[in-house]
Chains A and B, each alone.
Chain A
Amino acid sequence: MTTTIFSAKRIITMNPSRPFATHVAVRDGRVLSVGTLKEVSAWGDANVDDRFSDQVVMPGLIEGHSHLVEGALWDHTYVGYYDRTAPDGRVWPGLKSVDAVVERLQEASAAQDDPDAALIGWGFDPIFFGEQRMHARDLDRVSNGRCIGVFHASLHFLNVNSAVIEDSDLAASTDMQEVMTDARGAPTGELAGMVGMYLAMKSLKFDLGSQATHPPALWNFAKVCQLAGVTTATDLHSPLDDEMVGRLTGETDKADFPLRIVSAFGGTLMPADKGTARIGSLVSKSTDKHKMGIVKLVLDGSIQGFTARLKWPGHFNGAPNGLWYIAPDEFKKTVLAYNAAGHQLHIHTNGDEATELALDAIEEALATNPHPDHRHTLQHCQMASDAQFRRMAAMGVGVNLFSNHVYYWGDQHYELTLGPDRAHRIDNAGSAVEHGVDLALHSDAPITAIGPLFTAWCAVNRVTSTGKHLGGDAERLTVEEALHTITMGGAISLKLDHEIGSIEVGKLADFAVLNEDPFEVDPMALKDVDVWGTVVGGEVFEAPQV
C-alpha cells in the first residue's frame, strides 16, 4: 500500500471546509488527506512527489456535455475559424479565409496516400467571411479526383466538391432548401440537413457515429480532454449497444487511459419500455472509468439553426418556429417512464418553449413517482426565464448551460435569432445561481472545443466574439463561482459528487494541474491559464510539450 504525497504551489480544493492547501496524499487512487505536509504525513510512510511544486492543483475539470465524435473528427482535417488544439497538443491556427481552408486541405490531400480516398474537413465556419461562401470550385482546387467534404462547425452543413456533386443528383434538385445555389441556379456544393449527412455517408464513406467509439477516436478524445485539464467527460447521447460498451470498457480500463467517461443512453433510440430495461441492464456494467446510468432526451433543435422551439415572440428575423425532435405527448410519456424507473434524465432544450414543456413533463412525472434526489437536468436551456429558473429550483431540477454560445454565437443571437432582449439573457448563469439551481457549464464538443476554463471565462465575462457584453453584471459569475461549476457543478449534475469534483478525503484522486493560478490572473485571462496536465486516479498525465 503505497502512499504518494504531491506538493503544489497551491491546491484549490473546492471543499469549503478546507478551500486551500499545499499537500495532498494519495493512496489506492483516492485522496487520503489534504492539508499541510505535516497534516498529510500523519497517515504514515509516503513518497513525496515534488513535481508540481511550481504548479497549482485543482480538482479535475468536468465536461458535463460533450460527445465522443470529437475524437473521431481528429482523424480528419480541422479547418475552423478559431485555433484548436489537436490530441497531440499541436495547435491548429484558425483559418480566416476560404483560400486558407483550401490551402490546408491541399496539404492534407498531398499527405493522404490513397488517391481515391475521400478527404474530410471539419469545423468550417464562414460566419466571419461576410458574403463569401465556399463553392465547389474552391474545393476543386484541392484535388481533381477525390471526393471532398467540409463540415461546418455545427455539423449540420457540408460543402462538397464537384466530384461529389457529379456523383449525386443535386444539379436536378436545386429547388430544395437543402441545396444552396449560385447566381446561375447551379448547386454551389453547400448542403444542409440530412441531405448533406446522407451524401457524406454514401459518397464520402464518412460515418461519424460508428467511428466515435473505436479505440483511436476514444484516445483522441481522452487526450483532447487531458490537454484541457479534464478528468471526467460525458458522451451525452449514445446507443450504448453491446459492442460499444465493450470497446468503451476495454479502452478506459487501460491504466494509461487518461479519462473517465460518463455515457448517457439515448432514451428515444428505442421505445421507453425497452429503453428502461436496456439502461437498467447497463448500470451494473459501469466501471471505474466508464459510467452508465443517465439518460439523454432531445426535445428540440438549435437556436442558431432556427430549429429550437421558442415561445412568443419567436425568432427575431421572423423565421418560423423550430422543430420538436419528439412529439410533446410522447415526450411526457418518456419522461414518466424513465423517472418511474429511477433514471436521471438529461434533457436537451434550447428554446424556452422546449424548456417549459420539459418542466411540465418533469413536474407531472414527479407528481406520479416522487424521487427526493432525482437531479433531472436541463441541458443547454439557453433561453431560460426567471420564472423557469424558479420552477427548476422548486422541483430540484438542475441546469447545464451552454456558456460558450455567448462568445461564439452571441452576436448572431443579438442581431438575427433572438434580438437584443433575449440575447442579453442567453445562458444566464447568474440567474441560475441566484435561484439556487444546481449549475454546470459545457462546450457541447465537438460543436465548440472542450475547455472548461474557456467555458468558465465565457460565464465570467459574457463577451461575444466581436466584443459585445451580453447581460448585466447580474448574469456574470465570479471566478470562484465559475470554477465551482466546472468542478463540483459538473459532479453534482452527473450524480458523481461523492466521487469527484473536489479534492477531499475519500474522493478519487483526479486533479487538473495548472501552470498558473486561476484566482491570480485577470478574469479576462482565465481562458489562457496554461494546463500542465492531469492526474486521474493518482496516475499522472503530463500534456505533451509542443
Chain B
Amino acid sequence: MSDRSVIPVSVVGGFLGAGKTTLLNRLLQENEGRRLGVIVNDFGDINIDENLIVTRDEDMVSLANGCICCSIGNDFLRALISLVTRPDPPEHIVIEASGVADPLRIAAIARADKALRLQGIFVLVDATQYQTQAADPLLVDTVRAQVGAADLLLLTKTDIAKDDQTQAVGELLERERPGVLRIETTTTDVPVSLLFGFSADLRTPSTTPHDPHALFWTGSIACDKACDVEQLTAVLEDCAGLLRCKGIVRSAGGGGQIVQWTAGRLELSSLEVAPAEAALVYIGVGAAPAGFERSIQQCFE
C-alpha cells in the first residue's frame, strides 16, 4: 500500500513554443477534482480565469477548484519546497521545466525526496519546429536530451504542421526513443486522465493513432462475489497499458474494500460493511490485452 502523504510529481518539458503553457492552463482548469500544485516559469503566459481566483500574491495564485499555481520567481527550489511543506500540500504537483532544461534533472529531485514520487515526464515536441531544432548545431543536444528524458512524448501542433512534417518528426522520434508512447495532438486535446493516470513504467507498442481518444480501452465488471485482492493485484500489475482501475469489492471475511489503481500502484481502504453494489471500472492505453477481462473475473470466486 502506498503512503498517502507521498505526492506524485509530473514534469512537463519541451523546448520553447512546444505548448507547455497551453497544457498547464488546461490542467489547472480540468483538474478532475485533484488539488494540483502547478509550478510555472512565469505567470505572464498562464491564462487563469479571474473568476476562479481565490487569492493571489506575487508568486502564488489559489483557485476555487483547489489548485495552486506558483511561479518560479527567484528560485525554483524555494517554490517547490514551499508547496511540499504547506500544511495542506497539493495532491499532485506538476512542474513546468524551462524551455532549455533537461527534464530528467528536475525529475531527479522528485526521486530524491521521500515525500515525493515521480509520476512521469511528459515532453512536448513541436511538430512544426523539431526538424529545424534537431538540425541546429546550437540546439540539437538540448532538444535531444529533452526527448531522451520523456516517459511520454506529446507531438504538438499537428493541426498546423504539414502532414509530411508530422510524419517525419514522428519517424525521427521513433528512432530516438523507440517504444516510448507518443501521441500526436494539438496540445489542447490530450486527455487529462491520460497524464494523471500515466505511469512512468508504462511501455506500449509505438502505435500513434491520430485521434488520441482512440488510444483508450475501457471496461467494467460488476460482481457480488468476494474478491481475492492478492490475485487482483497480480492481474493489474501484469497488465501493460493499464492506467486506472477503481471501484468497490467485497471481502471474503465480510466487509469490503475500496480499490484505487493509479500510476502502477494499488491503494486499498477497508470497509467494515459489505457494499451493496460491488463493481470495478478500468481504463488503459493501446489495445486491450487479450484475456484481461477473464483474468479479472477469475479474481471473484
Find out whether the CB atom of B81 lies under 8 angstroms from the CB atom of A320.
no
CA of A344 to CA of B139, assembled, Å: 27
Find out whether the CB atom of B111 lies under 8 angstroms from the CB atom of A330.
no
Chain A residues contacting B75 (CB-CB under 8 Å) are 209
Find out whether the CB atom of B111 lies under 8 angstroms from the CB atom of A173.
yes
Task: Select the stretch in B102-110, B199-207, B213-221, B227-235 that faces chain A.
Answer: B102-110
Most buried by B among A170, A176, A320: A176
Q: Using known A-B contacts A170-B112, A202-B113, determine if residue A210 contacts B78 with beta carbons closer than 8 Å.
A: yes
- For the complex formed, measure the closest distance between the CB of A163 and the CB atoms of chain B, giving whole angstroms: 13
Q: Using known A-B contacts A323-B100, A324-B100, A327-B99, determine if residue A198 contacts B109 with beta carbons closer than 8 Å.
A: yes
In the complex, the chain B residue whose C-beta lies closest to that of A270 is B42
Find out whether the CB atom of A194 lies under 8 angstroms from the CB atom of B114.
no
In the complex, the chain A residue whose C-beta lies closest to that of B109 is A198
CA of A179 to CA of B84, assembled, Å: 22
The answer to the question of B16 belonging to the interface, with a C-beta cut-off of 8 Å to chain A, is: yes
Find out whether the CB atom of B100 lies under 8 angstroms from the CB atom of A198.
no
CA of A167 to CA of B102, assembled, Å: 26
- For the complex formed, measure the closest distance between the CB of B205 and the CB atoms of chain A, giving whole angstroms: 25
Find out whether the CB atom of A269 lies under 8 angstroms from the CB atom of B80.
no
Q: Using known A-B contacts A209-B74, A239-B74, determine if residue A195 contacts B108 with beta carbons closer than 8 Å.
A: yes
The answer to the question of A155 belonging to the interface, with a C-beta cut-off of 8 Å to chain B, is: no
Find out whether the CB atom of A324 lies under 8 angstroms from the CB atom of B108.
no
Find out whether the CB atom of B139 lies under 8 angstroms from the CB atom of A328.
yes
Chain B residues contacting A195 (CB-CB under 8 Å) are 108-109, 112
Q: Which of A176, A209, A329 makes the CB contact (< 8 A) with B111?
A: A176
Chain B 72-94 interface mask (CB, 8 Å, partner A; 1/0): 01111110110011000000000
Q: Which residues of A pack against B, CB within 8 Å?
A: 167-170, 172-173, 176-179, 191, 193-195, 197-199, 201-202, 207, 209-210, 239, 241, 266, 269-271, 274, 320-321, 323-330, 353, 357
Find out whether the CB atom of B112 lies under 8 angstroms from the CB atom of A168.
yes
- For the complex formed, measure the closest distance between the CB of B253 and the CB atoms of chain A, giving whole angstroms: 34
- Other than A173-B112, A194-B106, give 10 A-B pairs with Cβ distance below 8 A: A193-B108, A198-B81, A199-B113, A209-B75, A239-B74, A241-B74, A266-B74, A324-B138, A326-B100, A327-B99
Chain B residues contacting A270 (CB-CB under 8 Å) are 42
In the complex, the chain B residue whose C-beta lies closest to that of A320 is B141
The answer to the question of B44 belonging to the interface, with a C-beta cut-off of 8 Å to chain A, is: yes
Chain B: residues with Cβ within 8 Å of the partner, total of 30
Q: Using known A-B contacts A198-B77, A330-B99, determine if residue A178 contacts B42 with beta carbons closer than 8 Å.
A: no
The answer to the question of B15 belonging to the interface, with a C-beta cut-off of 8 Å to chain A, is: yes
Q: Using known A-B contacts A168-B113, A194-B106, A198-B109, determine if residue A357 contacts B78 with beta carbons closer than 8 Å.
A: no
The answer to the question of B142 belonging to the interface, with a C-beta cut-off of 8 Å to chain A, is: yes
Chain B residues contacting A327 (CB-CB under 8 Å) are 15-16, 99-100, 139, 142
CA of A191 to CA of B108, assembled, Å: 11
- For the complex formed, measure the closest distance between the CB of B141 and the CB atoms of chain A, giving whole angstroms: 6
Chain B residues contacting A168 (CB-CB under 8 Å) are 112-114
CA of A202 to CA of B84, assembled, Å: 10
Find out whether the CB atom of A201 lies under 8 angstroms from the CB atom of B108.
no
Chain B residues contacting A241 (CB-CB under 8 Å) are 74
- For the complex formed, measure the closest distance between the CB of B216 and the CB atoms of chain A, giving whole angstroms: 31
Find out whether the CB atom of B113 lies under 8 angstroms from the CB atom of A169.
yes
- Residue pairs across A and B with Cβ atoms less than 8 A apart, 10 shown, are A172-B111, A173-B112, A176-B108, A198-B77, A198-B112, A207-B78, A241-B74, A269-B73, A323-B142, A330-B99
